[in-house]
Amino acid sequence: MRGKATPDVRAELWQSFVGLLKAYAAAAALGGKEHGVLVLTENSLQIVAAPEMLSVAYYQALGRGVWALTSGSDMERGTFEVNLDGTISLEEALIDMDHAAIQLVASLTHAANRKQNEVLV
């Protein structure tokens, strides 16, 4: 008798998180600043609101990932963990997946808008 394959719950949760990041990037683009999403691999993506960029990578074996927000020559970095209950530990704060995605995309949008306003001044 063959053993049943156990689905990797964290891998499925990561894919859900990616979907939320993409959805919130598309929603942010409705506000006037185009957000492009590049899925680099199954475990990494970049969201670009030129010239700013949010890079997110997930290490499935660890259940953890890293993110980096690049804005000009500045870079802000952090870590996250995908929890089995569907929450995300983002910089040690435990929040639901929706709000983690909103927070990351909002940080990119804010940086892009700030840069655009500096150019206009």
- pLDDT value at residue 77: 96
Domain membership of residue 53 (yes or no) is: yes
Three-state DSSP class for residue 91 = coil
Domain membership of residue 78 (yes or no) is: yes
* pLDDT exceeds cutoff 80 at 16: yes
Q: What is the pLDDT of residues 81-92, one digit of tens each?
A: 999 999 999 988
Domain membership of residue 47 (yes or no) is: yes
* pLDDT exceeds cutoff 70 at 1: no
- pLDDT value at residue 121: 42
- Contact criterion met (CB below 8 Å) for 94 and 84: no
- pLDDT value at residue 64: 95
Report field, pTM of the whole predicted structure over 0.85: yes
How many domains is the chain partitioned into structurally? 1
Instruction: Give the range of the structural domain holding residue 37, as residue numbers without chain letter.
Output: 9-108
